[in-house]
Every structure is written in C-alpha cells, then in structure tokens.
Structure 1
C-alpha cells in the first residue's frame, strides 16, 4: 500500500483521516459539511482557450472554504442533532432530480447560500439560479448561480462541478478522467470557460437585469491516484492541484497484481450516493447480501468500493462499454 512519506500532501491529508464531514451522523448533513469543507481542486484557473477572448475566471482558495465551513459549523451541529434537519431534507427533495450527484451538489451549496445569508453567516445573496441561455428559441445551456457579494458590492457568477476523476502520469488536467472516459478535467474547464462564462448580462426574476462583475469556477469532488503511486516521483506534481483536496486510490481492473492487494472479503460495493460520503448504515445491510467473489476471468465491475471504509475505484484503462458514470 502507500508509503506515506513519499506522497503529496493532498494524499497525506486523506490518509491521516482529514475528513471533518465524518463527524456528522445524518447523511445530508455529512454531505453538506463535505461540500463546504472540501476545497476547490484548483489553486488557480487554467486557461485552455487563450485565443477565444474569454473572461477572467477566478477560484476560491482552500482557506476561503475552510472559513465558510467554520462559520457554518454551529448550524451544521443544529441540523445534525435537532428537527432542523427537516429544513435541509425538504429543501433538497423538492429540487429537480435530487438523486443525480450534480444536482445534489448544487442543492447542497444552494441551501448553504440561502440559509447562511439569512443567518448573516456569509455575504452572498442568491439573485438567480439555473438561468437558461438561449440562441433564438433554442436553449443552449444554463448558468448555475448568480450572487450579490454584499461585502465587495459585486455581482458574481459561480459555475459548479462535482467530479470524481482517476489520474495517471503525468497528471495534467487531461489525464484526470471520469468513469465515463470521455469526461476529463481539461474538457470540463474548457467547456465552462467558453460556454457559461462568456455571459455578461443576466435577466433575473426579482432583481431585473444584472451585469456580472466576477466569475468563479467551483470544482470539487474526489480524485483517485493509481494504487502503485508510491513508486512514482512527485517532483513535478502540478501546482494547480490544491494540497488538501481529497485523494484516494484506483486500481486497474485488469491488473491482477494490484487486485491481489485488495482484501476481497472486506470489499463492499458503494451505493450510488456514497460517491459523496460513506453511509455506515449500508455496512450492516450489505452483510446480508451475497459476498463479492473475484475470479481470474471475472474481476469486480467498474465502480466505487469500500475496503474497511477506504474508498477504492476499480476502473479499466480502456473505455468500459457500460460507461457507468457517476
């Protein structure tokens, strides 16, 4: 397994149990804490479209998200221990497609924005969300969040993405791919910059037309490193990768030596929502299910697993026909 002394600080963070969201018991509260405490994967925005005359895109620092989490901790405790939990569950379950991970992420962040602003825990007033973009009568996309930053007097556009990417050397953005192998970090950033972030004026229902002053790309989630990463050098680790971003492991499903290091008796297939945070109540439920058995000719299916609570993605190096994308 990993030799901690050889790893990047991002990996050390996860393997030394840096996970403040695990302190919460109720699933949606745990997810909400994860959404706040998890930093942006980026320390800076990377411009992959320098010749398209696009706008400047910013990212919030890891310390920004830590401050937001700390300012909201008392409210998280209230949601986790009282009937106030119903405020969160009702909000999330009345939103469109609450069981899709991207919409769940957006719902959690939107709840924090609205609830936290009402409680004066941050300066961001939501002016509009899911603003449709049109070319004539044809819908061409949408903007996630339009906010009024009352501290700075600015109208901000926040575009959101929740990503669970497997990395391979040399760990450039194009080398971080999803279980759907057509999805990678560079492609996502390019799309955000050349599509959503081109907008200047936005029509809102209650605040009229507003002009965007600043744009933020918010990309969170989890990254998974190859299980043999201890044999790699990190001297050229990318400076754009936030040191405290949650890092875990992935294993090539055709690599029998790699699979042999996994305790299959302890392996549990993750339920869909557990790409966010682990649900401990599934542990006892799955004890009643048939045990996973791996044979040489039938490796485990592509997806996320837990081995004694440790997240592991099993993934084919070649595109999987099932494209079991989170």
Structure 2
C-alpha cells in the first residue's frame, strides 16, 4: 500500500501551528480543530468485499479555508466575554473531559456558531444519532448535516487520534497508547459500522436520506525519534503532508532517551494532547525553574506525552511490549 513520493519520511518532520497565536485554552483547541488538516488525503477501503458505501475526506485546503473564514470569530472568542459561550457549550456536553467528546464538542460549536454567522453552509440536522436493531442500541452517528451550498445531506463521523508510527508506516503500524487501537482498525470500523446507515430519523427534520459520507480524522502523529535510522521509507501517499508531526521515543531506548533534556521535561496533562497549556509550566516550576524529571537506573519512564520546553514528545513502549495502564 505504498506509492512513489518525492521525499523520504525522515525528511518530513513538520508542525504548522497557527493555533499558538491564541491565548485562551479552549480557543486554542478550537483553532487547532479547524486548522489541523484531516490525517488522510483519501479514504482507504479495508473492507472491499463488504457492501459498504463510498467515504470521502475533506482536503487540507478545505480545512484551511474553514479556519480562515472563522479566524475573526476566533479573535473575538479570545479577547471578549464571548469566550463564556464557548466554555458553557463545551462543559454542558456529556463527558467534556474525554478527548473524543471534547473534539466533538469543538466541531459542533463551530458548526452551529459558524452557520448562525453565515461563515459556512453546514446546518446541523442531528448529532449523536442512536442506531438500533430492534430495541438494542448498535451504535451512533456523530453528525448529520445539510450542506446548503451543494444541497446534500452529509454524515460526518469524527475521530481524534494521537498515533505513534513505526516502519514501514502503513496504517496498521500507527498505534495509540492503547496498542489495540490503530488507524487501520479505526477506519475499518467506521466504514463497516458507522457509515452503513442510509436513512436517519431526526428529532426536528424528520427522516432524511444520507447523500455523502465524510470521515473526519484529525490529531497528531508521532515518528520514532531515530527516524533517520529507519531507512528511506517513503512518506505514505495517504498521509496529509501538513498533519502535525512530532516524535516518540521507545521507553527502553536509553541511547535516545539520553538526548532528551530532562531538566526541561514535564509530563503533559491529558487535555494537552490538543494544545499546550502554559499555566501548567508555572505550576510545575520551582523558584522559576522547571522541576527536572529523574528516572532511576532500574526505572522505566512512564508512558505518555511530555513537553521538552515547547516540543511535544511521547515516551512509549515498543509495540511488542505491554502498555502501561
């Protein structure tokens, strides 16, 4: 599943972060959700023998256009009391502290607020639509939208993923902190389960027929810290070049762990998988200096996200190792 590309993966460590210009944490998160492109340049069909529907993805230019159209509103949210509307919206949603639900809340706020201000053509018809088989719940659909520009009903299924990659960098080789979670498995589930629906019952718009299906998968991907030693693996043709890319380090790799400045290292709080919160730096400082993280000689670093100054890095075990719970 690889195609020729112009540059090896070891030369493509990049991170465009326009969300860093905002001060308020939830505004940063909202800017990140819009400015971050879809992980995918195209949908990959991992269930070709099943009777499934075609799935599309929005291009990086689509999301850049949405960010630019909403940029003035982001400034208002970042500098006025309108911020309270965003915080109230997010905190009233179910399980607002879970990353997936936080992502859904941010997208939903942008859809509703942006449509009301005529900044995009997507009207929310329904969200979190329950699917049933008889009386048994079999799943739910994230967003049912009406695209006024195209006059189409669209089903958007959302996913926020923070995956660590390993050679040969195929979708199955990008895994989460939970090693059972990988990009190929997530896409297969979305296509064979969530995207099977054709007709949807909505509370305020009756029964609607889905015309288009979009997989919205965003997040951060992490390459091995020693990527240059992995060989000349091509950048995957399906992976968007402008997706935020950082590094991860094997927790047993003492050589590369030694290259990390532990005096500038701190463990990230869960919400910082989205965007870094500078006030956590201050809380973790003593006498104006970062409290150094020290690992004993017989102690392995704890799996998770860290910041070396402003640089995100994940400490993670090899895929064959057991994940810390």
TM, length-normalised to structure 1: 0.94
* Residue in structure 2 matched with residue 305 of structure 1 by the alignment: 306
Displacement after TM superposition at 1:232 (Å)? 3.5
Does the C-alpha gap of structure 1 residues 10 and 149 become closer, same or farther in structure 2, counting only changes over 3 Å? farther
Displacement after TM superposition at 1:43 (Å)? 0.1
Q: Aligned partners of 1:223 and 1:285: how far apart in 2?
A: 27
Q: Aligned partners of 1:155 and 1:117: how far apart in 2?
A: 15
* Residue in structure 2 matched with residue 231 of structure 1 by the alignment: 229
* Residue in structure 2 matched with residue 68 of structure 1 by the alignment: 66
Displacement after TM superposition at 1:117 (Å)? 0.2
Alignment of 1:117-266 (within 5 A): 117-234=115-232, 236-266=234-264
Q: Aligned partners of 2:232 and 2:201: how far apart in 1?
A: 47
Q: Aligned partners of 1:67 and 1:82: how far apart in 2?
A: 24
Where structure 1 has 5 or more consecutive residues not aligned to the other structure, the ranges are: none
TM, length-normalised to structure 2: 0.94
Displacement after TM superposition at 1:266 (Å)? 1.0
* Residue in structure 2 matched with residue 23 of structure 1 by the alignment: 21
* Residue in structure 1 matched with residue 316 of structure 2 by the alignment: 315
Equivalenced residue count is: 315
Q: Aligned partners of 1:291 and 1:227: how far apart in 2?
A: 21
Where structure 2 has 5 or more consecutive residues not aligned to the other structure, the ranges are: 1-6
Q: Aligned partners of 1:319 and 1:112: how far apart in 2?
A: 40
C-alpha RMSD over aligned residues: 1.4
Work out whether residues 179 and 323 of structure 2, in 8 Å CA contact, stay in contact via their aligned partners in 1.
Answer: no
Q: Aligned partners of 2:235 and 2:292: how far apart in 1?
A: 39
Q: Aligned partners of 1:211 and 1:81: how far apart in 2?
A: 41
Work out whether residues 178 and 323 of structure 2, in 8 Å CA contact, stay in contact via their aligned partners in 1.
Answer: no
Cα shift readout 1:7-65 (whole Å, capped 9, x = no counterpart):
56752x31xxx200000000000000000000000000000000001000000000000
Work out whether residues 264 and 292 of structure 2, in 8 Å CA contact, stay in contact via their aligned partners in 1.
Answer: no
